Amino acid sequence: MDYLFLLAYLCIMSAGLHIYNTLSRKKELFVPLNPPFVGLYVCGPTVYDEVHLGNMRQFTSFDVVYRYLSHLGFKVRYVRNITDVGHLTDDGDQGEDKIEKKARANQIEPMEIVQKYTNGFHHIAKLFNLIEPNIEPTATGHIIEQIEMVKRILANGYAYEVNGSVYFDVKRYMQDHKYGELSGRKIDEQLEQTREELEGGSEKKYFADFGIWKAAAPETIMKWPSPWGEGVPGWHLECSVMSTKYLGQEFDIHGGGMDLKFPHHECEIAQSVGADGKAPVRYWMHGNMLTVNGEKMSKSKGNSFLPMELFSGSHPMLSKGFSPMVVRFFMLQTHYSSTLDFSNEALEASEKGFQRLMNAYTNVWKLSASADGNPVLLSEIQKYSQACEEHMNDDFNTPKTIASLFELAAIVNKVSNGLEKIHEEALTVLQQTMKTYIEKVLGLQPEANQDSQTLDKAMDLIIEIRKQARQNKDWATSDQIRDELAAAGIQIKDTKDGTSWSLV
């Protein structure tokens, strides 16, 4: 560990980043396995259809985790996979591969489906300003490694082969290890089914057993040779293989949606322990689900959104379209572990809040320091700057961080409107704090779109008309313009240097 990083690391540890660990069910002080390096793995999309909003919420949450760990000085290796085979239509051991089913319905090759929706996912990810992962491995690119892990699990006695399929033996595993620890499920207390009632038919010995290699039907296109015959890897296997290949048999953080906790992540743990004898993950993080107007988001209810429907406003529940940055801001206003409820009204409120914050962020770079600046402002700015750090150290609490940024925005508006003067040190801290937490940590960007450019031009014209009215001593018109702008949420301020405006 180099000297400069050692100093930074000691500062980080004294600050105390705490993460809610799903495995222990409590907040724990984050101590990386091999500082300054941090291994972060996040379950990526299954590319059989357009990426949905629930996916994007999770990826946005872990984008912030990646950004903040990097801000603290850690060298993060971020791995996010692409599932391009093995995810069956019932999310269990039966059904058809989701990608192959979609390809058959469209009469095209499965890899055309993969390419189309991988490209679409990357496009949406850029709109949300997600930083690209360091490694984005695919399931089909790691078939050999998955076969080798199945071999190790079999050799250790934690799996069995039937008719070309290999199943993980949960009962045998539970003789030596815990199963259900992550999700809190007590598998051994559940009723054992008869062989005829077993999920997946009579091949399984026990209802909780799961496929780690599945024999392929003759008509299956995506299949590979193995010691057990032609087949495909089980869905859970790919993440066990790719996470440990690129981050080591033990690594720091594994993230994903709450819906993946069981069985996907539970099976990941069992596979890694069954193959190599080591629990792979030290901190498990799970994001919560989405609702719409208080109801669970569901295609059958007609209340599910695709990102592009939000951006375009084409969904019937929306009154208008909302920009990707507004949607990102909306998501970050709720803690990643809490349920996020979508509604048109909530999005409209977030849009106004986002515009106020970004207007202040734009104006902070236009402020000038004064030699007679108010000395109290420095302590206020430092207080809210420290609060941003404390909130992010408290399990990445983005809503409280945003609340502190609004306090800093209020200071910007006071100085911008001539109600306060700020000296150089305070202005520097203010600018650096807002840049760090708005752009670098939260990943928010000002929107230089056509609407904002049009508003700028319109306001320039209105201010010029008001200036002429004042020069002509037409105070009634001047006051009317000021008052009607204020009623519309736009404040204008007259100073000796001219007239400025801001959104309030």
pLDDT above 50: residue 17: yes
Q: Which of 193, 317, 152, 184 is nearest to 261 (CA)?
A: 184
Helix, strand and coil percent figures for the chain, each rounded to 5: 50, 15, 35
Mean pLDDT for the chain?
Answer: 90
Least confident of 89-93, 332-336, 431-435, 445-449: 89-93
Query: What pLDDT shows up at residue 432?
Result: 98
Answer whether 161's CB lies under 8 Å from 103's CB.
Answer: no
Answer whether 136's CB lies under 8 Å from 319's CB.
Answer: no
Give the DSSP letter of residue 28.
Answer: E
Least confident of 62-66, 189-193, 360-364, 430-434: 189-193
Give the DSSP letter of residue 201.
Answer: G
Answer whether 365's CB lies under 8 Å from 431's CB.
Answer: yes
Answer whether 401's CB lies under 8 Å from 437's CB.
Answer: yes
**pLDDT tens-digit series, residues 295-352:** 887 666 767 789 999 999 988 889 999 999 999 999 999 999 999 999 999 999 999 9
pLDDT above 50: residue 30: yes
Q: Which of 468, 471, 462 is nearest to 500 (CA)?
A: 462
**pLDDT tens-digit series, residues 229-272:** 999 999 999 999 999 999 999 999 999 999 999 999 999 999 99
Query: What pLDDT shows up at residue 94?
Result: 74
CB environment 115-150: b (16+ within 10 A), e (fewer): ebbbebbeebbebbbbeebeeebbbbebbebbbebb
pLDDT above 80: residue 99: yes
Report the distance separating Cα 117 and Cα 111, nearest Å: 10
Query: What pLDDT shows up at residue 4?
Result: 47
Answer whether 75's CB lies under 8 Å from 38's CB.
Answer: yes
Query: What pLDDT shows up at residue 483?
Result: 83
Contacts with 282 (C-beta within 8 Å, 6 or more apart), sequence order: 21, 33, 250, 251, 252, 253
Q: Which of 218, 238, 78 is nearest to 142 (CA)?
A: 238
Integer angstrom CA distances of residue 139 from 84, 136, 242, 254, 269 = 6, 10, 8, 17, 18
Instruction: Say what the pTM is.
Output: 0.86
Answer whether 478's CB lies under 8 Å from 470's CB.
Answer: yes
pLDDT above 80: residue 455: no
Answer whether 404's CB lies under 8 Å from 387's CB.
Answer: yes
More confident residue, 48 or 453: 48
Q: What is the mean pLDDT of residues 71-88?
A: 95
484: its two tokens = 């009607």
pLDDT above 70: residue 14: no
